[in-house]
Structure 1
Amino acid sequence: MRRFMDPFEELRRMQERIGRLFEEFEPRYAAYTIPVDVIDEDDRIRVVAELPGFDKKDIEVYVEDSDLVIRAERKEEEEEVRKNYIRKERRYGETYRRIAIPMEVEVDKITAKYNNGILEVILPKSEKERKVIKID
């Protein structure tokens, strides 16, 4: 039996391979992708994202073009820049994740909370009912 090939899964794997390649040569240039779980619950979509080490004030969440966007930035302290490192692996800079919202949601009722490195975003599903059209 032949499996259906998901092109997006292939792209994700390719991105991971490229990231590992960069890590081998220079760890600080490796891309950091925000890992997320998207859960379809009865009346809402719940997105759980791992953002360890970020301050709440440095995380931005918004909806754009039917996508949920999570953006976070970790700034390097000036005194950290001047240190004479033997090895430096902690990542600084901006990371970004765009997640397609699979159905209509009540944008004005979206909530988010951040605790212990975990961001949880609740997207209430739209209560609009689809209209069934009678065929004559």
Structure 2
Amino acid sequence: MATSKNLTPSGNGGRRLSFWNNDPFESLHDDMDRLFSRYLTPSLLHRPSALLGSDMSAQNYAQMDVRESDEAIDIKVDVPGMDVDDINVTLTDKTLLTIRGERKTESEEKLKDFYRVERAYGSFLRRIDLPAEVDENKIDASVKRGVLSLHLPKTAQAKAHEKKIKIKAS
């Protein structure tokens, strides 16, 4: 007896509903289609913040670079147009770094027959689990040309914990 499929259109993007067919690959295929259509559409590929959840918009997402050396962890965060007072950096338990910022910009333009006021507000929060303990007394933080730079020297204990593993050739 042939299997029967319901091909009635529905609100699921025109995909067929398989009530009587127990083909596991068809179900997997449908799940993969939903995953790719939701997360890998061209508009989302150009907005990394879209994959992070609805609470972070593209304009509020602070781009960040993290580099680790034997001696320290260096972090650079884009904070264009922000004052030092608008940025808050905290370290918890020598390994959890939290960077918060709030943008507040306002521009006003008055001409003879033209008046324009624009305001933009937004905040961001970035938390980084550091790969090693850092010396909180030697942290250096500065902002230059819209980039927050953090230099976090590792503690002596963190440097001592690192052990090179010898690899044998077979």
Q: Does 1:60 align with 2:88?
A: yes
Q: Does 1:130 align with 2:138?
A: no
CA distance in structure 1 between the partners assigned to 2:134 and 2:81 by the alignment:
30
| Aligned partner of residue 92 in structure 1, secondary structure | strand
Q: Does 1:40 align with 2:68?
A: yes
Q: Does 1:18 align with 2:50?
A: yes
Instruction: Structure 1: state its 5+ residue gaps.
Output: 1-9, 23-28
CA separation of 1:45/1:18 partners in 2, compared to 1, >3 Å: closer, same or farther? closer
Q: 2:121 aligns with which of 87, 92, 97?
A: 92
Q: Does 1:30 align with 2:57?
A: yes
| Aligned partner of residue 105 in structure 1, secondary structure | coil
CA separation of 1:130/1:57 partners in 2, compared to 1, >3 Å: closer, same or farther? same
Using structure 2 for the length normalisation, give the TM-score. 0.51
* CA shift digits 1:61-120 (9 cap, x unpaired): 11125211111112254979xx767xx7x7412211111101111122111010000110
CA separation of 1:67/1:77 partners in 2, compared to 1, >3 Å: closer, same or farther? same
Q: Looking at CA atoms only, which structure, 1 or 2, has the larger radius of gyration?
A: 2
CA distance in structure 2 between the partners assigned to 1:37 and 1:70 by the alignment:
13
| Aligned partner of residue 57 in structure 1, secondary structure | helix
Q: Does 1:117 align with 2:149?
A: no
Q: Does 1:70 align with 2:102?
A: no
Runs of 4+ more than 6 Å apart = none
Using structure 1 for the length normalisation, give the TM-score. 0.63
CA separation of 1:94/1:102 partners in 2, compared to 1, >3 Å: closer, same or farther? same
User: AA paired with 2:84?
Assistant: K
CA distance in structure 1 between the partners assigned to 2:87 and 2:98 by the alignment:
11
CA distance in structure 1 between the partners assigned to 2:78 and 2:134 by the alignment:
22
| Aligned partner of residue 75 in structure 1, secondary structure | strand
Which structure has the higher relative contact order (CA within 8 Å, separation 6+)?
1
C-alpha RMSD of the superposition? 3.4
Identity among equivalent positions (%) equals 36
Q: Is 2:80–2:147's contact at 8 Å kept on the other side of the alignment?
A: yes
| Aligned partner of residue 76 in structure 2, secondary structure | strand
